[in-house]
Amino acid sequence: MSASQQKVHAAGAALNYISDGMTVGLGSGSTSEIFVRLLGERMRDGLNVIGVPTSEQTAKIATEFGIPLKPIDHVDRINVTIDGADEVDGQFQLIKGGGGCLLREKIIAHASDLMVVIVDETKLKAQLGDFALPVEVDPFAFTITAKKIFDAMRASGIPRGDVKLRRRGDGLEPFTTDGGHYILDCACGTIPDAPTLADRLVHIPGVVEHGLFIGLARVVIVGEDRGAKIMEF
């Protein structure tokens, strides 16, 4: 069965974590978009929730499917956030940010009572690092920041890392996030110690946020061919 159908199974299972009256963080990416559509269908059947989107794209899709939204500044509690991931390891450590929304995703996940991650089987990894780690940076002096990031990778036990500026589809202009920042994609191969790398990155001036989500996910739902497997940390 295709990964796309596994994503549907994972997103559908996440609906079990939604109750009437909740404020729900709405993640970004292909699996999260499926969840938003399914949530909209459930609301047409009478469910009542408020959504807090992690990206402009998510906000657009949620509006199309009739989910009322509030900006995070206008809510005092987020009951649960449902979001995808680019990689998940056995300790529920994540790499996120393939879609460029990692800063807002992390802010909303951190503000939530519960973060539920929905993925297909291909996203499960014994060790993080196959997927290039996104790091969101200020455009000012980003080349200097990139060198500091490379040094942090080396100091964290990544011997042959590579740091590249993400560009738009035409390959000419830099990709910019909803917040106006750049993304540096860091090819690591493997990340032997994700918490150490995360700590080094967060102390680099110019780094706005990194795509290592550590200690945030409490539930991981893995879409499978015949349903979904729910893992709780």
User: Where do we find the tokens 């738009």?
Assistant: 168
Whether residue 99 is found in the same domain as residue 152: no
Query: What does R_g of the chain's alpha carbons equal in angstroms?
Result: 17
Read off the pTM: 0.96
Tokens of 40: 């909209």
Whether residue 220 is found in the same domain as residue 202: no
Measured between alpha carbons, how far apart are the two ends of the chain, in Å?
27
CATH number at residue 193: 3.30.70.260
Tally of domains within the chain:
2
Number of other CB atoms surrounding residue 102 within 10 Å: 30
pLDDT of residue 116: 98
Are the beta carbons of 217 and 117 closer than 8 angstroms?
A: yes
Active site residues: 105
Structural domain boundaries enclosing 17: 3-122+215-232
Whether residue 19 is found in the same domain as residue 54: yes
CA dihedral 192, 148, 108, 7 (to 10 degrees): -50
User: Which residues fall within 8 angstroms of residue 74, CB to CB, at 6 or more apart?
Assistant: none
Decide if 8 is inside a domain. Answer: yes
Tokens of 57: 């794209």
Whether residue 106 is found in the same domain as residue 177: no
Whether residue 189 is found in the same domain as residue 224: no
Whether residue 53 is found in the same domain as residue 137: no
Whether residue 18 is found in the same domain as residue 102: yes
Q: What is the pLDDT along the chain (233 residues), one digit of tens a residue?
A: 588 999 999 999 999 999 999 999 999 999 999 999 999 999 999 999 999 999 999 999 999 999 999 999 999 999 999 999 999 999 999 999 999 999 999 999 999 999 999 999 999 999 999 999 999 999 999 999 999 999 999 999 998 889 999 999 888 899 999 999 999 999 999 999 999 999 999 999 999 999 999 999 999 999 999 999 999 98
Decide if 127 is inside a domain. Answer: no
| DSSP 3-state of 158 | coil
Order the strands of the 207-210 sheet from edge to edge: 162-165, 182-187, 133-137, 207-210
